[in-house]
């Protein structure tokens, strides 16, 4: 496709005779820039602003010596002609006429704004092309008759999927629509149709292969999804079991904690009671110690006297007598 497009573009440029060129529907500006590189003053116009913006971007990357020969305008053919009134040596209409409901009007304007020896270069898709905004299909006779109403057709070229015509404003002998030209058209149409059919079969084969590949990939993906689903189910079951076990352990732990808390509470109560009892015992012990000291003091006062000492000896003596009597019984 790139090679065919390149050949068509080079053919149009080679037929652009003269010094001032108007490239109608310049798209991305390739033809305009190529002509500018050859020192021709070329103007490219297009009704698509994005195309003009892109063409200007491409032009900015060219050398300054080339930029002075080319310009791009966002406008349509009729408006540009009416606004400027400029007369050109050559007007190029590459893939334009098939978009028009009234192509003769454009051809007439081209005739009026060409020099007396000016040239119109036209290319249109050859045969059926189901592009969404194509308004007509061109074979040989219709495009020939469309331009020959105003121009002499000096050259007809079959460019793969396109047909090209070189048209002279000056009255000269046109290429005859004779058997030789029709034979050439038929050969070109056969090549074009054969290519389309081959592409269709190839596309169908490729599509079948792609469908088979996609089905295989789909089956593989479904298998993987099934494995993932099973793994996910197993994981969910394991997680549920683990969660149930964890819940049971948590409940058991909470029970133990609750029991421990109760026992701890009881232990704290016992400890508190023990501390209270210990405090009471300490108070009693302190009291007894005080009483014991008092009694010791009192006993000391008694035993330190003569009658106290006498009483102790008598007590001891009486104990010995009591023990003897007990043993003698």
90: β partners: 21, 119
Q: Nearest to residue 75, comparing CAs of 48, 109, 99?
A: 48
Domain ranges of the chain: 2-176, 280-328
Burial of 295-304, coded b for 16+ CB within 10 Å and e otherwise, reads eeeeeeeeee
CA dihedral 125, 31, 199, 194 (to 10 degrees): 50
CA–CA dist 61, 216 (Å, integer): 48
Please calculate the CA angle 51-56-60 and round it to the nearest 5 degrees. 150
Per-residue pLDDT of the chain (329 residues; tens, 9 = 90+): 677 788 889 999 999 999 999 999 999 999 999 999 999 999 999 999 999 999 999 999 999 989 999 999 999 999 999 999 999 999 999 999 988 999 999 999 999 999 999 999 999 988 776 666 777 878 888 899 999 999 999 999 988 788 999 999 988 888 888 778 777 777 776 776 677 667 666 655 555 566 667 777 777 787 787 888 788 788 888 888 888 888 788 888 888 877 877 888 887 888 888 888 888 888 887 888 888 777 777 776 666 777 777 777 887 888 888 888 888 76
* pLDDT for the residue numbered 71: 96
* pLDDT for the residue numbered 211: 65
The helix or strand, by DSSP H or E, that contains position 153, with its residue range, turns out to be strand 152-159
Tell me: domain 2-176, CATH 3.40.50.720, correct? no
- CA-to-CA separations, 324 to 311, 312, 318, 327, 328, in angstroms, rounded: 20, 19, 10, 5, 6
Q: Nearest to residue 71, comparing CAs of 41, 107, 98?
A: 41
Helices (H) and strands (E) in the chain, counts: 9, 7
Q: What's the pTM?
A: 0.59
Direct distance between the N- and C-terminal alpha carbons of the chain, in angstroms, rounded to an integer: 149
* pLDDT for the residue numbered 55: 95
CA dihedral 8, 10, 12, 13 (to 10 degrees): 160
Q: How many CB atoms lie within 10 A of CB 121?
A: 25
């Amino acid at each position: 496709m790139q090679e065919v497009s390149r050949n068509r573009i080079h053919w149009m440029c080679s037929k652009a005779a003269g010094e001032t060129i108007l490239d109608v529907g310049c798209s991305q500006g390739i033809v305009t820039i190529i002509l500018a590189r050859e020192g021709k003053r070329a103007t490219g116009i297009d009704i698509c602003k994005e195309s003009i913006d892109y063409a200007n971007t491409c032009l900015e990357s060219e050398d300054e010596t080339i930029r002075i020969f080319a310009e791009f305008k966002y406008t349509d053919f009729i408006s540009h002609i009416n606004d400027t009134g400029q007369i050109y040596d050559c007007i190029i209409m590459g893939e334009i006429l098939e978009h028009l409901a009234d192509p003769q009007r454009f051809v007439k304007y081209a005739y009026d704004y060409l020099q007396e020896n000016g040239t119109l270069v036209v290319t249109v898709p050859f045969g059926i092309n189901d592009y969404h905004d194509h308004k007509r299909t061109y074979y040989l006779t219709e495009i020939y008759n469309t331009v020959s109403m105003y121009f002499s057709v000096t050259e007809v070229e079959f460019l793969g999927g396109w047909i090209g015509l070189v048209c002279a404003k000056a009255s000269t002998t046109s290429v005859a629509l004779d058997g030789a030209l029709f034979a050439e058209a038929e050969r070109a149409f056969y090549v074009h149709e054969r290519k389309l059919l081959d592409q269709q079969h190839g596309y169908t084969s490729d599509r079948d292969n792609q469908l088979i590949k996609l089905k295989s990939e789909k089956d593989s993906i479904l298998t993987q999804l099934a494995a993932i689903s099973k793994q996910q189910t197993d994981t969910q079951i394991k997680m549920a079991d683990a969660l149930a076990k964890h819940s049971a352990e948590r409940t058991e732990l909470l029970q133990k904690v609750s029991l421990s808390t109760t026992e701890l509470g009881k232990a704290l109560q016992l400890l508190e009671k023990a501390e209270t009892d210990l405090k009471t015992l300490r108070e009693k012990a302190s009291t007894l110690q005080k009483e014991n000291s008092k009694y010791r003091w009192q006993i000391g006062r008694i035993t330190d006297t003569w009658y106290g000492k006498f009483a102790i000896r008598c007590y001891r003596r009486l104990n010995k007598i009591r023990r003897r009597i007990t043993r003698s019984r």
